[in-house]
Amino acid sequence: MKTAADTPTQLLGPLNPVERTHAPDRLSVAGDVAILETGARVSIVGARVVPRAAKGCVDALED
């Protein structure tokens, strides 16, 4: 699998003002980077740690 690490502008093209404000210095990608050339963008919002209140819900889904 091909991997790459570049600036957001190099991988995604021009960024809008909000994207420039929140974009990391470098992005690491794996797989077919040609997919990034379509222009479609999504935002992934979340946390790496499950809050205690949600832990029971996650445990129930895993059963």
35-61 pLDDT, tens digit per residue, is 877 777 776 666 667 677 776 776 666
Phi first, then psi, for residue 43 (nearest 5°) are -120, 130
Between 34 and 61, the more confident residue is: 34
Domain interval for residue 35: 3-62
pLDDT at position 42: 73
pLDDT at position 10: 87
Using the 8-state DSSP alphabet, how is residue 61 labeled? H
Overall number of domains in the chain:
1
Q: Write down the residue that tokens 């093209």 correspond to.
A: 13
Strand residues in the chain grouped as ranges (E): 3-6, 27-30
